[in-house]
Amino acid sequence: MQSLRKNWFALTFLFFAGLSGCSSPPEAPDDLESLLGFIFEHMDDEDPAELIAGLENLHEWMQDDANLQKSREGLLINNLPQSALQTLDGKERSTRGLEGITVTTKSGFCARSLASLLTWEDFGSTLDNFSMYERTFTSDPTCFGSRDCLKVRADSHTKSAWAGLVGMESKYGIQFRWVKTKVGWMMLQRFWLKDPVNGDQLEVKMKANYYIGIIMDDGERAGEAISPAFRRAANGILGNAGDDIDADQKKLSQAGTLRIHANWFNVDTGLITLPKATIREVLINNQVNDAERHDNWLESHPDMVDCPKKMMSIDPEGTP
């Protein structure tokens, strides 16, 4: 009888809770591929509840050392939902033909300093792989690194060599955002190719390109052996990031930040008969090299570094 009475009260509570209009917490995927597409889609939501849920799930996924090792090696992803492309600039876009890669890098610098560098108005001076880099912000970006403002937006006009071979002149929309989660502040960067671009030779065409980057605090990690797959991903076929592989492993063992990169693309290689695996490897290598370039810049410009002595701080009320 007592058990029946308890069940009756429980059912009554659930019934009236439903009538009161209580809503369930936002749900987010828990696998990496779906999470990255989900975060891309919700990057600019006015209500950040779903975005926060996705970021917290991503943080939890990265706490597993085996997961982190896999993501550092570079993974293929394809799950960018069609709905994610409707949140950009109103243009008709399709996910048809998109392929994607993701790779995770570790930095010894805090998110605040990386955010300041990425939104620095002279950021183009840190790049050696662009023949032209022009970026125009819609508002003053100097407030972003310190989190005096939580969003900034820019448009870029660049010239670079795709795969190191074919010149491309591209225009991108770019967004940066800080998001507060239960495990601390995270910084996001999203950009997309505004219109398809023809290469200057060999009938190469970039039809679409979408990127999401997430920077989150990360504590000290055990120095596990580096797999051959990660060495291949770091070395790539054009760069020499693998030369600094031991330094990268040292970063992993220290407190700092994780940088999760995801890049979806649709490229017609024209007269270049590059295997798809090669294109993926080039993109993974580029992400690893770019992250290394940012760290090297901060190391050589200590005046731009504003990190606490204790790198790891996950107090939601604190400032990492």
Q: How many domains does the chain have?
A: 1
At residue 148, does pLDDT exceed 90? yes
Give domain status of residue 287, yes or no: yes
Averaged over 291-308, what is the pLDDT?
94
Residue 13 is assigned to a structural domain of this protein: no
213 versus 236: the higher-pLDDT residue is: 213
Is residue 227 included in any domain, yes or no? yes
Average pLDDT, the chain: 84
In a domain, 40, yes or no: yes
**pLDDT value at position 244?**
55
pLDDT greater than 50 at residue 180: yes
Range with the lowest mean pLDDT among 169-173, 303-307, 308-312?
308-312
**Residue 164, domain member (yes or no):** no
**Residue 90 pLDDT greater than 50, yes or no:** yes
Domain annotation covers residue 148: no
pTM: 0.84
Give domain status of residue 3, yes or no: no
216-255 pLDDT, tens digit per residue, is: 999 888 755 556 655 555 554 334 444 555 666 777 878 8
Say if residue 80's pLDDT is above 80: yes
User: What's the domain range around 216?
Assistant: 25-112+178-192+206-304
Q: How confident is the model at residue 276 (pLDDT cuts 50, 70, 90)?
A: confident
DSSP string, the chain: -HHHHHHHHHHHHHHHHHHTT--PPP----SHHHHHHHHHHHTT-SS-HHHHHHHHHHHHHHTSHHHHHHHHH-EEE----GGGGGGSSS-----TT-EEEEEEEEESS-HHHHHHHHT-TTGGGG-SSEEEEEEEESS-GGGTTTTSSSEEEEEEEEEEEETTTEEEEEEEEEEEEEEEETTEEEEEEEEEESS-EE-SSTT-EEEEEEEEEEEEEE-----PPPPHHHHHHHH-SS--GGGGHHHHHHHHTSSEEEEEEEEEEEEE-TT----HHHHHHHHHHHHHHHHHHHHHHHHH-GGG----SS-----TTS--
Residue 315 pLDDT greater than 70, yes or no: no
pLDDT tens digits along 23-72: 555 666 779 999 999 999 999 999 999 999 999 999 999 999 999 999 99
Residue 41 lies in a domain: yes
Structure confidence by residue, pLDDT tens digits, 15-24 = 333 334 445 5
